[in-house]
Structure 1
Amino acid sequence: MGCVSHEAINQLKAMMDQVDEPLKRTFQNVHQGYIVETLDRFLKARDGIVAKAHKMLLDSLNWRLENGIDDILSKPIVPANFYKGVRDSQLIGVSGYTKEGLPVFALGVGLSTFDKASVQYYVQSHIQINEYRDRVILPAVTKKTGRYVGKCVKILDMSGLKLSALNQIKLLTAISTIDDLNYPEKTLTYYIVNVPYVFSACWKVVKPLLHERTKLKVQVLQGNGRDELLKIMDYSALPHFCRKEGSRSSKRGGNTSEDCYSLDHPFHQQLYNYMKKQSGNSEPTRPLKHGSVHVEMPLAGPKKAELCKALESEWKRLENQDWLHDIKIHD
């Protein structure tokens, strides 16, 4: 549904006014002074049904309390060279802003390996970026533009996507579930670029299973999407993998300050320095034994489990096709 009624928002607000102090404090970190806009997000995520939105919001606030999410920006992944490994294998960054002021998040879906640290570090890093977006970036943009900005756009680079990505489905599902349950309606549009055959085949299977609201947010662009993306952002805001034509467009260049995935990029430098400042502690020389933060990862719901099952089935089918193709070539 596109619009939530004022009556529904008022009902949910009245219910939230009754919560106890610990939940109120963490709710402040969620809404950042924009209560109506936050209630609207949770209502949209539950099709405008007040009781369901109320439960979702309470569950999210309790998750924040139980996992120390309010303090997660004071717990950087250390030391820096270990964090660099996380950044080099979990490719995400902010390349700039759209013409309307929305942050542009770039995600290297196809080239992320998630092989430099344990699952908990990747989950921690993802949540920290979410919290930095919501508590630092979006409030700063709101102040600068003079109007509320509560969403971002995401550009997903599929170049390099292989069937072996199937091994990361459980981790990606956990991260996606955390977003669905605790950061709903934070992305305006998902732009998918540099699409290989393996993604195209899977997308045909997955798309019919998606909620209509989600399908409306996804745009699969031709090639690296540069021409379409330049309609909503300047060239300087394009991620590096959208700037050039040809097969080399997705490769990470030597200038790491322009590579939005790199720890040397201004976004990651600002984020990491912010967390170190918040921590107030000297940096240890080696990673903490069990990770700085252990976040309870919620189980995927029936709908997401169905999506994962369909995706796994399609990728296995494609894998078998490739295997048969290899046999024919060698014969």
Structure 2
Amino acid sequence: MDVANEEAIKQFQSLMEEVDEQLKDTFKNMHQGYPIETLVRFLKARDWNVAKAHKMLVDCLKWRIQNEIDLILAKPISPIDLYRAVRDSQLVGLSGYSKEGLPVIAVGVGLSTFDKASVHYYVQSHIQMNEYRDRVILPSATKKHGRHIGTCLKVLDMTGLKLSALSQIKLLSAISTIDDLNYPEKTQTYYIVNVPYVFSACWKVVKPLLQERTRRKVQVLQGCGRDELLNIMDYGSLPHFCRRGGSGSSRHHGNGSADDCFSLDHAFHQELYEYIKQAALRMEPVSLTKQGSVHVDVPEPSLEDAKIAKTIETEFHKLENRNSLANSSNGFKFTSD
């Protein structure tokens, strides 16, 4: 690390010493014993501009306090049938670890429908997985490997991505904004697999809009990405949709639910659900049957992120119009799979 960056960290530390005790308390819960590494994440997110990074972090801490994020792992989505419905329509899971010890988060982008519960449950679920990653998964990996592990890898499966995904852009933008502003620099690399035409068309117009720092993190792989991913993780850590040579599916692959890291029956989701249930019982020892989502304020996206979301929406509309035109004039059916 160069001298300028070290000086930026010192300045940032001095500024954080001046915040009130409530902000310091939630910062302590957030950094999990690694305050410097956390400051560096926010500095990277703001290109090492101390004033901007400081504002970003203070805004994040205020958001955590206002929305009781420190307590969100004690607020289960219940009853279990509702949580299972969320898991079946918001496909995310932990498939294993890279050879360097980084958690591998699998995301079924194309087949997530987000249609089994209100938006608030999906936002709550996403934040809970973020917090569980940061408070349980990453500290455990750090202890196991004897060095700080503060980031993960994400494998995004685009199988099944269709033009109908346009209806999900608002929710996905909200989740992305929460991550960008409150969990910056937590993903080392995004691997995108099983890419259909609809993604390729959008990627061409979105890629130039991304910051260079973000573009470097994104790798679009051939097919299911198995061969490339085996260079950085063992076969057992591959998401189930990457375990074959051809294009795959996020669902119903393998020899049962134990192989499907999206399923509530997978060990990761069982452990997460039990962790939240026990935390809730410690706070309020009553039956976990009441429904009621946590309403989290979604921060306003940056101008850059808003522009990207609008570009994606516009591109989807263009493809949709082409599809309609082709169907009506030529009898040709456009397929995005």
Separation in structure 2 between the aligned mates of residue 171 and residue 4 of structure 1, nearest angstrom: 39
TM-score, normalised by the number of residues in structure 2 = 0.94
Q: Which residue of 2 aligns with 1:109?
A: 109
What do you get for the CA RMSD once the two structures are aligned? 1.6
In 2, the alpha carbon distance for the partners of 1:2 and 1:283 equals 54
Tell me how far 1:286 sits from its aligned partner.
5.0
Letter in 2 for 1:264: D
Deviation, 1:305, is: 1.1
Provide the C-alpha distance between the structure 2 equivalents of 1:183 and 1:286, rounded to a whole number of angstroms: 29
| Match in the other structure for 1:307 | 308
Partners of 1:53 and 1:151 in 2: CA distance: 19
- Alpha-carbon distance in 2 for matches of 1:193, 1:158: 6
Task: Determine if contact 1:156/1:193 at 8 Å carries over to the other structure.
Answer: yes
Residue 6 (1) aligns with residue 6 (2) = yes
Worse overlay, 143-152 or 248-257: 248-257
Distance 2:81 2:177 in 1: 29
Q: What code does the residue aligned with 1:92 have?
A: V
The separation in 1 between residues aligned to 2:164 and 2:105, in whole angstroms, is 24
Is contact 1:4-1:43 (8 Å) kept?
A: no
- Per the TM alignment, residue 328 of structure 1 is displaced from its structure 2 partner at its CA by 3.6
Instruction: Give the C-alpha shift of residue 3 in structure 1.
Output: 9.8
- Looking at structure 2, the residues matched to 240 and 308 of structure 1 have their Cα atoms a distance apart, in angstroms, of 29
Deviation at 1:220, TM superposition (A): 0.2
Query: How far apart, in 2, do the equivalents of 1:223 and 1:139 lie?
Result: 33
Shift of 1:2: 10
In the other structure, the counterpart of 1:297 is 298
Shift of 1:30: 1.1
Q: Distance in 1 between matches of 2:129 and 2:182?
A: 14
Residues 276 and 246 of structure 1, relative CA distance in 2, 3 Å threshold: same
The number of aligned residues is 328
Give the deviation of 1:247 after TM superposition: 4.2
Q: Which residue of 1 aligns with 2:238?
A: 238
Greater shift, 250-259 or 207-216, is seen at: 250-259
C-alpha separation in 1, matches of 2:155 and 2:34: 26
Specify the alignment match of 1:90 in structure 2. 90
For each residue in 1:232-262, what CA deviation from the matched residue of structure 2 results, as whole angstroms up to 9, or x when unmatched?
Answer: 0000000000001334544323611210000
- TM-score (structure 1 length as normaliser): 0.96
1:277 pairs with 2:278: yes
SS in 1 for 2:115: coil
Superposition pairs of residues 178-197 of structure 1, within 5 angstroms: 178-197=178-197
Residue 234 of structure 2 aligns with an amino acid whose one-letter code is D
Gaps in structure 2 of 5+ consecutive residues: 333-337
Q: Supply the AA of the counterpart residue of 1:154.
A: K
Q: Structure 1 residue runs of 4+, over 3 Å off?
A: 1-4, 247-251, 281-286, 328-331
Deviation at 1:269, TM superposition (A): 0.5
Give the 3-state SS of the residue equivalent to 1:232 in structure 2.
coil
The change in CA–CA distance for 1:189 and 1:2 in structure 2 (over 3 A counts) is farther
Partners of 1:176 and 1:57 in 2: how far apart?
Answer: 17
In 2, Cα distance between the equivalents of 1:108 and 1:2?
39
Match of 2:205 in 1: 205
**Could you say what secondary structure the match of 2:224 adopts?**
coil
Residues 275-311 of structure 1: CA distance to partner in whole angstroms, max 9, x if unpaired? Answer: 01111134443523xx1x1100112121111111111
What fraction of aligned residue pairs are identical, expressed as a percent? Answer: 65
Q: Distance in 2 between matches of 1:3 and 1:42?
A: 18
8 Å CA contact 1:243, 1:249 repeated in 2: no
Which residues in structure 2 correspond to 1:1-331 (within 5 Å)?
Answer: 5-253=5-253, 255-280=256-281, 281-288=285-292, 291=293, 293-330=294-331
